[in-house]
Each structure stands twice: as C-alpha cells, then as structure tokens.
Amino acid sequence: MKVSFLLVVLVLFGVNCSSSEDQIKGVPSIIISDISQLEGDDGTLIIDYEVKLKESYSKNVILNYTTDDGSAFQGLDYKKVNGQITIPVGSTESIISLEIISDKIKEGNEVFHLTFDADMEIEFNKNTAIITIGNDDNSLPYDVEDYSTPTSYEGWDLAWADEFENAEINTSWWTHEIGNGDNGWGNNELEYYTDASENSRIENGNLVIEARSDSWNDHQYTSARMITKDKKSFGFGRTDIRAKLPYGQGIWPALWMLGANINLKGWPACGEIDIMELIGNQPSTSHATVHWGIDFANHKYTGKSYSLTDEIFNDRFHVFSVVRAFNQMWFYVDDILIFEFKSKDAQNQPYPFNEQFFFIFNVAIGGNWPGNPDETTQFPQKMLVDYIRVFEKK
C-alpha cells in the first residue's frame, strides 16, 4: 500500500509540474486594434481603449504605452499619456483611458497614435494603434478675426521661423530667382522675376511679393520668386505659413517646396509639395497638391482643394500648413485637415517625401493653369506673408 501511495503521489506531482510548465510555455499574443470616435462638443471626452490577449496567460502581462501626434496634436486635440498597463493572470484584457479635447470647430477627421512595447517577450499583431478623432462640427475656426496659429506646440521644437519683422529680406535665408526660366518656368508663365523692391520687400511686418504690369527685359509683367535652396531645408515636421493672397484672372500665387536633391534627381523625381496654390479667377479656393514620379514620363500628381464661403482669400489672413512624417503627409487650411497623402498612394512610383525639402514663395502671372491676364485683371497684386514657422518633434 505504501508503495502504491508513493507512486500515486509521484504521478500526481509529475502531472502538476507538467501542467504548470505547459501554462508558461509560449509567448503571450497581444491584439492591437485601430479605433474611431466622434469628437463631441466643448469639454473632454474619455475613450476606454481595450488591449486584448488572444488567450489568458499564466503570468501578468505588462505593457508600456505612449501616445504620439499624427494629424492630431497633443494639447490641442488630445491629451498625451504614457505609462504601463497590466493584464493580470487569467484575464484577457486591460483598459487605457484616452482623453479627447472636444470643441465645436470643423477640423476634419484627425488621427494620433498609441504605441506599445514590453520588457518581456510578446507577440504583437502590430505595435501602433491609429486613433481617429471623427469631426462632427461645422463651425469655422474664426469669426471676424484673421486666423493665426500658435508660436509653440506641446512636444515640438521651433526649428526655424521668419516673422518678416526686419527692415530687409534676410538674404542668409532667401535667394531671389531672376528671369523667366525655361519656357516660362516650364509653365509658359509671362512674368519676369526680379529682386527689385517693387516686387519684393518687407512692409509692416509682412513679406510683400508684388505682381506688376510693367515691362522688364521684353516681358510685360514682373514679380518675385524667393527660395531657401542651399540655405534652409527641412525633413519631417510641421510648417505653418500665414498669408493673404492676391486674385484676378491669370494671377497664380504659390507657397511650396521642392526636394533639396533636385540637382541630382531632377523633377519630378525630387518631389514637389504645394502647400498652397491659388488661381486668381477662383479666389475663394486654395489647392494642396503633391507631384512625384521617377521621371517626367512617369509624372504623377494628386491633391485636394478647400473653398471659403462668402469671401475670398484676399479678404483676410489664413494659415496654410503641412505636417510631414515618415511615409505620410497631412495638409491643412486654418487647422482644417483637407488632404492626406501616404507612400501607399504613390502608384508604384518611388515616394520622395521623406527627404529634405526647401521652400519657394512666388506669384506667377499667366501660364498653363491659370491662363493669361485679361481686361478684368487689376494690377498690382500683392501676396502678403506674415510668417513661416517650421516645427520638429522633440
């Protein structure tokens, strides 16, 4: 009997040991999901985000998490959080509370990211969740005041800014391109660009680019085109440009960027980012566009427009913005998200927008897109730029 009892104990002990070892074998598998939530109105909105295990595990599963900006910004659209959560033994989920900052302003659907890692071995279906804040508002972000953006954003550093407050244009940052380019800058434009003060200057804290009907070097019109090439170029970050735009048939203002490697790769392989373009016979509509392609034969472009109601872009200052991150970009007018472009949208062409880009400010006259001025076009026409600010993540 004693022998039999001992055998039973040993058998049971062996089974229990084997069972315990089986429970802790393998790696816990975490399911991370994207979610969407309508923003709501004034105040804050709490979202309970669920982190799930495929099946319960024999140890506590501890995860680190942090939020990060996408097209939504911490401190403006949501409150940043970071920390740890624990999924206890026997459980399959845990909750993270995310706080949305609600208002009644039309902003478009915006996203931020919730990213996970762990000090223990874990299988993630993916490490980052995309949290979409759905717009449910129609109010514009201004009433009678011109629009403005802040001088700082939580979690970002101001990398460069020109507030145009000095007496002269800063030639350490800006270069004037002179002339009419090849075939009217490739667009059959009519203007001759100069560095004369009649065409570009600083006045009352604004950069003024003035398009004029006056002859210069056998051209009927003059204007200015300023670039930061070889002086200031930038990669990922947020750019805000506050401007008041000219109008009229044949007038074509632009605030845009080209790849700093254009001399090596050429256009459109270097990439082009049109933060704002406007054709003057449609003075209530601005356009955000991107151009790319391995060569001219494979040139691709896409974009979106934004239209004002009962006013034109010459009536007041507006802010035109682009945010660039790895393999994606977002474009805004007055912090209203109007256009998003990702590497997967590149139509099997190389995506050049992860590289360094420089800025171009100009007002063209005539050309393929706007057509030529006519008897309705009034000169001079001025584009006023109050500031350009470039922010990079800390």
Q: Verify cis geometry, omega within 30 degrees of 0, for the bond prior to 268.
A: yes
113: left (phi over 0), alpha (psi -120 to 50) or beta: beta
Q: What percent of the chain stands above pLDDT 90?
A: 86
- Residue 392 CB neighbour total at 10 angstroms: 14
Q: Looking at residue 19, what is its pLDDT? A: 43
Tokens coding 312: 């034109």
Question: Whole-angstrom Cα distance, residue 275 to residue 320?
Answer: 7
* CA angle, 239 then 241 then 245, to 5°: 150
Q: Which helix (H) or strand (E) holds 290?
A: strand 285-292
Bigger pLDDT: 136 vs 285: 285
Average pLDDT, the chain: 92
Tell me the CATH number for domain 29-134: 2.60.40.2030
Question: Whole-angstrom Cα distance, residue 176 to residue 162?
Answer: 16
Question: Residue 104: pLDDT band by 50, 70, 90 thresholds?
Answer: confident
Does CATH place domain 156-393 in 1.20.120.420?
A: no
Which class for 217: exposed (0-12), middle (13-18), buried (19 or more C-beta within 10 A)?
exposed
pLDDT digits (tens, 9 = 90+) for 216-259: 889 999 999 999 999 999 999 999 999 999 999 999 999 999 99
12: left (phi over 0), alpha (psi -120 to 50) or beta: alpha
Q: Which residue type, as a one-letter code, is found at position 183?
A: N
Question: Residue 4: pLDDT band by 50, 70, 90 thresholds?
Answer: very low
Give Cα separations from 194 to 176, 178, 215, 317 (angstroms).
7, 5, 12, 25
Question: Whole-angstrom Cα distance, residue 241 to residue 350?
Answer: 28
Give yes or no for a contact between 357 and 231, defined as CB atoms under 8 angstroms apart: no
Tokens coding 11: 């058998």
- DSSP lists the bridge partners of residue 331 as 322, 339
Question: Residue 25: pLDDT band by 50, 70, 90 thresholds?
Answer: low
pLDDT digits (tens, 9 = 90+) for 117-135: 999 999 999 999 999 999 9
Task: Give the domain ranges of the chain.
Answer: 29-134, 156-393
Give Cα separations from 119 to 64, 116, 123, 125 (angstroms).
8, 11, 12, 17
Which class for 382: exposed (0-12), middle (13-18), buried (19 or more C-beta within 10 A)?
middle
Give yes or no for a contact between 49 and 128, defined as CB atoms under 8 angstroms apart: no
Which class for 183: exposed (0-12), middle (13-18), buried (19 or more C-beta within 10 A)?
exposed
Give the residue numbers annotated as catalytic, written as ranges: 272, 277
Query: What pTM was estimated for this model as a whole?
Result: 0.89
Which class for 272: exposed (0-12), middle (13-18), buried (19 or more C-beta within 10 A)?
buried
Give Cα separations from 333 to 50, 78, 103, 375 (angstroms).
34, 20, 17, 31
Q: Give how far the C-alpha of residue 25 lies from the chain's centroid of Cα atoms, to the nearest Å.
A: 44
> Which residues have a Cβ under 8 Å from the Cβ of 196 and sit 6 or more positions away?
222
